[in-house]
Amino acid sequence: MRLTERFDEALAYASALHRSQTRKGSDIPYIGHLLSVAGLVIEGGGTETEAIAGLLHDAAEDQGGEQTLDEIRTKFGAEVADIVDECSDTMVTPKPPWRQRKEDYIAHVGKASDATILVSLADKLDNARAILRDLRRFGPPLWERFSTADPQDHLWYYKSLLEVYRGRSSSWLVDELARVIQDLEQEIGPPVAATV
């Protein structure tokens, strides 16, 4: 696969959209995550269109909702916009509760296109790697960054998605996500029993 000026345009667009955004609880520019996702899509055998969707997968959700999605459709085509739409957790403001959003995402991504599966898988792998890295670096205070601070909730989410991905993809990215989840599970430890 060769990347064209279309990829360059998507990179510039993503950079402009997310310029002031950083990763949760850090000063790392958000574009780093988007570049990682696009890179994983490329390394996972994706097309230029899928790599562009990797760059833009959070654009509508984080930066303007349906209006941004329409702009993506105009600039980069329906296929990119459809992948971005299917990768979006929610575009509703205010966002629904965390568990509801995640259950809805798991349900709809399982029915999504193969292209969406690849981009979603790359996204979740990069997110899980970042969580594991920061958990090892900062310890349990890491969980305070998230709208749900229970690490078991995060494990449930990633394990649920892993099952979806296993049913839809034979990519090495699935095996890599499984390894990261296993490492996360070891770092987190067993659930703490509630005291009565």
Catalytic residues: 61-62
CB 44 within 8 A of CB 121: yes
The CA angle 31-150-27, to the nearest 5 degrees, is 25
Q: Which residue has the tokens 């499984």?
A: 178
Whole-angstrom Cα distance, residue 181 to residue 144?
19
From residue 3, give the alpha-carbon distance in Å to each of 10, 16, 17, 72, 145. 11, 20, 21, 18, 35
What torsion, rounded to 10 degrees, do the Cα atoms 55, 100, 94, 133 define?
-50
Is residue 190 within 8 Å of 161, Cβ to Cβ? Answer: no
Q: How many C-beta atoms lie closer than 10 Å to residue 75's C-beta?
A: 15
Position 131, amino acid: I
Positive or negative torsion for Cα 169, 172, 175, 181:
negative
